[in-house]
Amino acid sequence: MKYSLVFTASYNKRAVKFLKKHPELKKQYLKTLQLLELNPHHPSLRLHALGGRLTGLHSVSINISYRLTMEFIVDVDEIIPVNVGTHDEVYRQ
């Protein structure tokens, strides 16, 4: 099953800012997005649900230091990225 990534304007703005700040992560970031489309449950993504004020969102790892938070809507096979950044940046949202 292939999932659709649905990018919002606010996420695109965050992503552009993130990639300008961390151009060395562009390849890993794009690989993470591709893997999300193919198999969001792939072990290397370390997909997990978030709690507290981020309940309803999920997180995947770009690498050990950087995360991507998203809405993971299984009913319609859509993934909506919400935020990207360091562990502390995305969980402070």
DSSP letter, residue 70: E
The model's pLDDT over 10-22, given as tens digits with 9 standing for 90+, comes to: 999 999 999 999 9
More confident residue, 2 or 12: 12
Work out the average pLDDT over 36-65: 91
Interacting residues of 79 by C-beta distance below 8 A, sequence separation 6+: 3, 4, 5, 6, 36, 37, 40, 70, 71, 72, 73
Average per-residue pLDDT for the chain: 89
Among the listed residues 82, 66, 73, 74, the one whose alpha carbon sits nearest the alpha carbon of residue 31:
66
Write down the pTM of the prediction. Answer: 0.87
Query: What residue type is assigned to position 54 of the chain?
Result: L
Please, which residues bridge with residue 84 across strands?
68
